[in-house]
Amino acid sequence: MTTRRTLDPMTDAEPVARHVRELMAAGVSYARIAAAAGVNVSTVNHLLYGRVHRPRAKRITIRNARLILAVDVSQVTTGRVDPTGTQRRLQALMAVGWPAVHLGHTLSLHPSYVRELQRRPQVYSTTAHAMAVAYNRLWNKQPERHGISAQAANRSRNYARAKGWPPPAAWDDDVIDDPKAAPEWTGHCGTMRGWKAHREQDIPMCAACQNAFDRKQAREQARTLCGAPSLPGESEAA
């Protein structure tokens, strides 16, 4: 007689993956998180990146979910970490109207220190984690509906716009902590199509699209000096 194996009950994987990303924002590897949780490292890897020919996990066993969610930042972090993700999250939240003063209260930090985060060469890992948690909670919320005055929200948006700071929509969770990654403002950043979208939609110009425009200008100047005409479709080239 064949006995059926009882499958572990499953639950939504996204809150667990979000918790892992918040811990990783504090400079923690997913392997260290897996070790602290007492689960297989491939389980955490699958939450974040998927496997060969398989997408990221959408479901996870309730047992593994509880083990991973029980990992506290104090168990796995020490010292200071790269500030990139913390600074980008702060900029993105301010770009959609969350003032530094409010974020300071949320993070239990003095507002002046929150502003100072933009200039820090490193931040405390606990601060990086707290910022990631706040970001995940606030990025898609309208500040005016959560106790922020319209004047304060607009002042924050205008300040961020003047600085050229990207909003949350320009960052993917997988790259926001990567110092080598660039924001994707238009869906075509780094090309002339992206440059045109910035201009036509009145979006602050990103470095990738400005570089694409500069390269196009340099090519056209070189052709002018050589007496050669522009190639068809050149204006849309990357």
The predicted-structure confidence for 194-221, as pLDDT tens digits, reads as follows 899 898 888 888 888 999 899 988 888 8
Higher-confidence position of 107 and 148: 148
Q: Are 77 and 126 in contact (CB under 8 A)?
A: yes
Q: Whole-model pTM?
A: 0.77
Distance of alpha carbon 74 from the chain centroid? 22
Tell the residue number behind the tokens 């959560």, with chain if given.
146
Strand-pair category, 123-124 with 80-81:
antiparallel
CA proximity to 31, closest of 40, 22, 69: 40
The SS3 assignment for 19 reads helix
The predicted-structure confidence for 11-28, as pLDDT tens digits, reads as follows 999 999 999 999 999 888
Higher-confidence position of 224 and 230: 224
Find the helix packing angle between 30-37 and 14-24, rounded to 10°.
120
Q: Are 35 and 142 in contact (CB under 8 A)?
A: no
